[in-house]
Amino acid sequence: MHHFIFPSQDTWISSGSNLITGETFKDQNFGRDQILEVKKEFFNNSFDFPTRALVNFSGTEFTQLSESVSNGTIASNAKYFLRLYEAEGNAELTEEYTLSIQPISQSWVEGTGKFSDNPKNTNGCSWENRSNPIGGNPIKWNTQTSVGNTRATGEVTFAAGNYINQEITIGGVDFIFVSDTTNYDNNSSEIFVQSGSTPFITVNNLTASINNNTSTHGLKISAGRVDNDVTAILSLSGSVLGTAANLSANSSSNLFTFNGDATKALENGTNTITSVEGNGPSILSVSQSVQSFSNQSPDVEVEVTDMVNMWLQGQVENYGMLVRFSGSQETDSTTFGHLKFFSRNTHTIFSPRLEVRWDDHLPCTGSNTGSLTQITSSGLIDNFLYMKGLRESYKVGERIKFRVGARKRYIQKTFSTSVQTAADSFIPEGSGSYAIKDVATDEFIVPFSDFTKLSCDSNSNYFIQYLDGFYPDRVYKIQLKLKTDDGQEQIFDDDFEFIVKRK
């Protein structure tokens, strides 16, 4: 099953200014634009400023999605994908680049502005503000956790000595140097470094552990080693460039303590806060999806399952996603890009969408097939798949069980030929699948995939399709695919068409 929902809000934001007038874009709103721009602007061959896109799926459709997951209508192991459709191809793009999709940590307002507004419209979300109502006061983003905005760092000098099983507190979380599993109590608040499910349990592995796990609490070691007979400096950073700082950036607080003793921790060391350039929407560092491009269409199809599951399970609030060039690519002078994606205000069928995919098919085996006869799928027989009882039109929001028939294309006339042999056959398990196209654009709305396998009951093969996300007053075409035992694939495209109408 492929099911999709549309955004409740989207917009793009700019950190630049007008090169002619000097007027800033940082407080301007573009919420009603038909295009979402994710780009890097250059001036005199030097990087000038970036823009980013924001997309939110927290509306009524997302609430219904959450309910469907809770009651089991949608499988708990469903996959979620963000789909964005590029409006102008891949001009002005570096051959290889990476986009990052990150969860936004605060609410925001789409706004009513357009890039062409003169005077500019500041009503709504912008680079500086997450809301700016007409007649009210602007509400700024919390730049404390903004992408690339705050970096909390510190150094601790360890003299020669035994630090085994002593704790270090980083950003309020206790970690412990562990020498062996005897003293390791598997307390989640006392794990110093962990790789997957296997902790590094020897002090001598500390350097490698942190270097190999820079995402763990945003820690990164720059030099040194800690053991019983070597003096070393351990340098820890609260963020990696391009991600949100996740340690306290309050200069009055201690980043590091040993067993609660700040004096001991900071002996011969420093506790410094460094600000780096950048602001814009604040994001959470708990989840991130990336999609890398190399000489290919700039359409975005990136899995965001972990992010969506956090929202569905209530671990964090759903304030939508931020789309940007990844890490240092956003501000370097070697990566180029001027991406324009259709927004939810587009007059096309290419609005952003959150696509849900799960395998809902019932196996074409055993009692599911009733008294049906399995078609011969050796590849030597010319079979024919067709739609049974396909109506001319359906309504938006309907959930339809589409029936699929299977038989030999040509039936030889013999005395043993029966009606069942000619008509009531089923396709072997895993051999049949379906896809749905928009006739006018020839674009797949539901492509062939592992999530579009045909089911079977005692009447025929079938598939169920939700029409919630289908545009009304458009013609759609069903295609069927048959895989044979010898590896052949045959597509059946015999004008199996229907119209989706408004309720």
Residue 206: DSSP 8-state: H
Phi/psi class of residue 385: alpha, beta or left (left: φ > 0; alpha: ψ in -120 to 50)? beta
Q: Quote the pLDDT of residue 497.
A: 97
CB contact at 8 A, 125 and 31: yes
Higher pLDDT, 470 or 246: 470
226, pLDDT greater than 90: no
Q: What pLDDT does residue 272 have?
A: 32
Say how far residue 183 (Cα) sits from the centre of its chain.
39
Using an 8 Å Cβ cutoff, are 13 and 111 in contact? no
Range with the largest mean pLDDT of 106-120, 170-184, 302-316:
106-120
Domains observed in the chain: 2-146+280-357 (no CATH), 150-275 (no CATH), 366-501 (2.60.40.2550)
159 vs 231: CA distance, rounded Å: 5
Tokens standing for 168? Answer: 């270090």
Pick 215 or 34 by higher pLDDT.
Answer: 34
User: Residue range 474-482: average pLDDT?
Assistant: 97
pLDDT digits (tens, 9 = 90+) for 390-443: 999 999 999 999 999 999 887 666 555 454 444 579 999 999 999 999 999 999
Q: What order of strands is seen across the sheet that includes strand 455-456? A: 383-388, 399-408, 461-466, 455-456
Which tens digits make up the pLDDT trace of 321-352? 999 998 888 888 899 989 999 999 999 999 99
Distance, CA of 304 to CA of 325 (rounded, Å): 16
pLDDT at 309 over 50: yes
| pLDDT tens readout for residues 482-491 | 999 999 999 9
pLDDT of residue 93: 79
Region 255-268: what's the mean pLDDT?
36
Q: Which pLDDT band holds residue 148 (cuts at 50, 70, 90)? A: very low
pLDDT for 79-102, tens place per residue? 999 999 999 766 677 888 999 999
Question: Could you tell me if 177 and 164 are in contact, meaning their C-beta atoms sit under 8 angstroms apart?
Answer: yes
pTM for this entry:
0.73
Give the integer Cα–Cα distance in Å for 129 and 447: 39
Q: Check: CB of residue 218 under 8 Å from CB of residue 255.
A: no
Paired residues of 455 in beta bridges: 462
Q: What is the mean pLDDT of residues 235-240?
A: 38
Return d(Cα 494, Cα 475) in angstroms, integer.
14
Residue 53: DSSP 8-state: E
Residue 469 has pLDDT above 70, yes or no: yes
Q: Give the residue-averaged pLDDT of 107-128.
A: 96
